[in-house]
Amino acid sequence: MTSRFHSFSALLRRATIASAVVLGALSVASYHRASAAEPSTASNVKPLRVCADSSYMPYSNLDGQGFENKVAAVIAQALGRKLEYHWASYRQPGGFSNFLAQDLDAGKCDVVMDLPYGDVEENYTKSYYVSSYVFVTKKNAPYDITSMNSPALRTVKIGIEAGTPPEMALKVLGLTTNIVPFDIASAPQQSPKSMLQAVQDGKIGVLITWQPAIGYFLKDYPDLKAIAVPSEQYAPGIPAERFTFAMAMGVRKHDTALKQELDKVITDHHGEIHAILADYEVPLRPSAAVNYPGQ
């Protein structure tokens, strides 16, 4: 579920924890800037204060180019609030959990735009999208990889992000000798795009990563294809490993009023939100396990 980085990042590591709770099979300095695209509001209306990363495409950046930025603008406009940002790195020491503790929980903002549905530490809205991990290979590769049990995985180098569900599944299947780890989540200077480049350059035969983290960049790699990783059971008595996750917006644990406001906007404006996600090549996967408007 994160990537956020989306490859993914510390967010996806949290997704592994959240998925275990919800799906049962399964986790800087302050800088405020009002969005120029937002309508003016009365001075007594509270702004929508969003914590976001200033340089982590395709999620967010200072110029408002990420899909989190675009969704935040829809939310703020629907609530009639001015949009303000508190910028902090998701990839700080301590990862995404520390980002939440030092920024959202510390009251420097009121909402984060991408949090695993079912998060155990924060309050969360309805899911506004469901996406998955994917296999990324060259279109002309002389093998098909469609599941974690595909024979080709025993013969090629497998790129994964450390600490994510694919790594755990590969360990269960005894494929650790083939793993080439990436740690984009801990390297602020790195982009998820670098993992696609590794496939393009033949340094790895397949990449297994969070689709929202790399979909935005796939247009630059027309020779590559992405296929969703299916849920599978790897041994009798072990629950099926899931690779599809629901994502929500996060607020502080007891901020039920804002959660309810956001839930209503997610329901009333899911068409606009889905259109934004489509622009960023975030495929929406079905999931009966979450409250997902529009399904």
Question: pLDDT tens digits for 88-147?
Answer: 998 888 888 999 999 999 999 999 999 999 998 899 999 999 999 999 999 999 999 999
Computed on alpha carbons and rounded to an integer, the radius of gyration of the chain in Å comes to: 19
According to the model, what pLDDT value does residue 285 have? 82
Tokens of residue 167, six digits: 């790594």
Strands (E), the chain: 48-52, 55-56, 60-61, 83-87, 111-116, 123-124, 129-138, 158-161, 179-182, 206-210, 224-228, 244-251
Q: How much is the average pLDDT of 5-21?
A: 42
Q: How far apart are CA 35 and CA 269, in angstroms?
A: 19
Q: How much is the average pLDDT of 147-168?
A: 93
Q: Which of 24-38, 159-173, 229-243 has the highest mean pLDDT?
A: 159-173
According to the model, what pLDDT value does residue 5 have? 36
What is the CB-side half-sphere exposure of residue 199 using CA atoms within 13 A? 29
According to the model, what pLDDT value does residue 272 have? 97
- Give the model's confidence band at 150: pLDDT under 50 very low, under 70 low, under 90 confident, else very high: very high
Average pLDDT, the chain: 85
Q: How far apart are CA 108 and CA 231, in angstroms?
A: 38
Query: How would DSSP label each residue in 116-140?
Result: ETT-SSSEE----EEEEEEEEEETT
Task: Delimit the domains of the chain by residue range.
Answer: 10-129+245-279, 131-228
Give the fold, CATH level 3, of 10-129+245-279: D-Maltodextrin-Binding Protein; domain 2 (3.40.190)
- Three-state secondary-structure class, residue 233: coil
Q: How much is the average pLDDT of 13-24?
A: 42
Beta bridge partners of 182: 161
Beta bridge partners of 51: 86, 112
Which class in CATH covers the domain with range 131-228?
A: alpha beta
Q: How much is the average pLDDT of 168-177?
A: 92
Tokens of residue 154, six digits: 């025993």
68, 103, 106 from 62: Cα distances, Å:
11, 17, 21
pLDDT at 18 over 70: no
Q: How much is the average pLDDT of 158-169?
A: 91
Residues contacting residue 112 through CB under 8 Å, at least 6 positions apart: 50, 51, 52, 100, 104, 122, 249, 250
pLDDT tens for 36-93 read 344 444 457 899 999 999 999 999 999 999 999 999 999 999 999 999 999 999 888 8
Q: How much is the average pLDDT of 190-194?
A: 94
Q: How far apart are CA 188 and CA 205, in angstroms?
A: 25
- Asked if the domains at 10-129+245-279 and 131-228 fall in one CATH topology, the answer is yes
According to the model, what pLDDT value does residue 237 have? 78
pLDDT at 190 over 60: yes
According to the model, what pLDDT value does residue 204 have? 98
According to the model, what pLDDT value does residue 43 have? 55
- Give the model's confidence band at 292: pLDDT under 50 very low, under 70 low, under 90 confident, else very high: very low
